[in-house]
Structure 1
Amino acid sequence: MGVAIRRAGADDREDVIRLLDAALVHDPVSSWVFPEVEHRVRTHRALMGAFLDIALDEGYVDITEDGAAVALWWSVPAGPHGGGGEAAEAEVDAGAEDGPALLRRAVDPDNERVEVIGRLTEAIHPTDRAHEYLHLIAVHPDRQGEGLGTALVTAVLDRCDRDGLHAYLEASNARSRDLYTRLGFTFMGTTLDLPDGPPMWPMWRAPRA
């Protein structure tokens, strides 16, 4: 039997935040952003909520019908994005806050790593081709290993193949990297090594004929 998937909306916000928090609070990248466990447990949910709100406003969120798995995506055009370019440099020079700085201020103002990871991922994000960007994917801990995450990703990749679209992501651990490899993604050759932290694997997928 196939996995039923629908587009999530504002009414799903609290349920999705709980799911993202439960699934990712001990992820290597989350553990690096919030190294103190007690602080992470208190604050991680706020970061997931901020990411979700951006996805609901600017991207799209796919969720399994049973609410056990969710994926946050953006449709990214070709060309400079993510706060890059002369306009963003002018804002920084003028003292205006850009996306990573605003996220840090909203979620955890004293935690530089909230801002650092945003800047690092922006710096490596491909700009030469339009693509679908998988920002976050989460499967409830009690439902992992059932293929729900694969179903969510495959649904978008099938559309990418039909429409001739590329796809991009940063794998946060070796297990997910291997899964994405099986789905047709290719490691781009250089890891993003978080300062005194774990690596992330930028991965790219060309549409299949």
Structure 2
Amino acid sequence: MGVQIRQATAADRGTVVRLMDEAFHDDPVSSWILPGAAHKRRVHPLLMGAFLDVVLEHGRVEMTEDGSAAALWLDTPAGQPEPHDGPARLRAAIDPDNERIEQVATLTSAAHPHHRAHAYLWMIAVAPGRQGEGLGTALMAPVLERCDREDTGAYLEASSGRSRELYWRLGFTGLGEPIRLPGGGPLMYPMWRDPRG
């Protein structure tokens, strides 16, 4: 039996935020952004909710019918991004004393292939107890098939070696140097997928 996938709506916000919080709680980048266990428990769901709100407004969230996995996509046109204060506003609203929220946004924006139109996979979350079942691949397949039909690339930043392995299997390759988070933080791996003719 196949994985049932649908587009998330604002009504799914609570379910998807809980999923993202659980799936990314121990992620190396999340742990770097929010050091300290008690602080992370309090702020991490707020950060995940803010990310989700951006994509619900400007992109598309695909989720499994049972809420065990979700993918956040933004269609990104070619051209340099307009300067905006989004990361600063996010920091002010979520965690005002935490400059790492802005640092990650600045570093990932600098690595982003703005000169090429693409589908940007901002985040993909799979419940920890369901990882390894192919849910991530199932969620990505429809968007990658659309990219192939429309002759459009796809881009993402992998935040762990495990996720990078999945993306390699789906046809992504490394794009430039890894993003090095300051102060001995983890690496993020920009990856690109050319459309398949």
Which TM-score tier does this pair reach, normalised by the shorter chain? over 0.9
Q: 1:197 is matched with which residue? A: 185
Task: In structure 1, give the amino acid aligned to 2:110.
Answer: A
Gaps of 5+ in 1: 89-97
Q: Deviations over 1:60-88 (max 9, x none)?
A: 1000111100010100000011x44xxx5
Task: In structure 1, give the amino acid aligned to 2:154.
Answer: A
SS of the residue corresponding to residue 88 of structure 2 reads helix
| Counterpart Cα distance in 2 of 1:153 and 1:38 | 33
How do 1:166-181 and structure 2 match up within 5 A?
166-181=153-168
Q: Which of the numbers 79, 101, 115 marks the counterpart of 1:128?
A: 115
| Counterpart Cα distance in 2 of 1:65 and 1:163 | 26
Task: In structure 1, give the amino acid aligned to 2:67.
Answer: G
Q: 1:57 is matched with which residue? A: 57
Q: 2:70 is matched with which residue? A: 70
| Counterpart Cα distance in 1 of 2:99 and 2:115 | 29
RMSD: 0.9
Q: 2:105 is matched with which residue? A: 118
Q: 1:43 is matched with which residue? A: 43
SS of the residue corresponding to residue 155 of structure 1 reads helix
TM-score calculated relative to the size of structure 2 = 0.97
| Counterpart Cα distance in 2 of 1:30 and 1:147 | 23
Task: In structure 2, give the amino acid aligned to 1:191.
Answer: P
Q: 1:94 is matched with which residue? A: none
The answer to whether residue 10 in structure 2 is matched with residue 10 in structure 1 is yes
Task: In structure 2, give the amino acid aligned to 1:14.
Answer: G
Q: 2:145 is matched with which residue? A: 158
The answer to whether residue 196 in structure 2 is matched with residue 208 in structure 1 is yes
Q: Which of the numbers 101, 107, 117 marks the counterpart of 2:88?
A: 101
Give the superposition deviation at 1:189. 3.0
| Counterpart Cα distance in 1 of 2:25 and 2:128 | 11
Task: In structure 2, give the amino acid aligned to 1:103.
Answer: L
| Deviation beyond 6 Å, 4+ runs, structure 1 | none
Instruction: Give the % identical residues.
Output: 60
TM-score calculated relative to the size of structure 1 = 0.92
Q: Which of the numbers 153, 172, 179 marks the counterpart of 1:185?
A: 172
Q: Deviations over 1:116-173 (max 9, x none)?
A: 1111111111112110000011001111111101111122101111111100000000
SS of the residue corresponding to residue 61 of structure 2 reads strand
| Counterpart Cα distance in 2 of 1:46 and 1:183 | 31
| Counterpart Cα distance in 1 of 2:39 and 2:117 | 37
Gaps of 5+ in 2: none
SS of the residue corresponding to residue 19 of structure 2 reads helix
Greater Rg by CA: 1
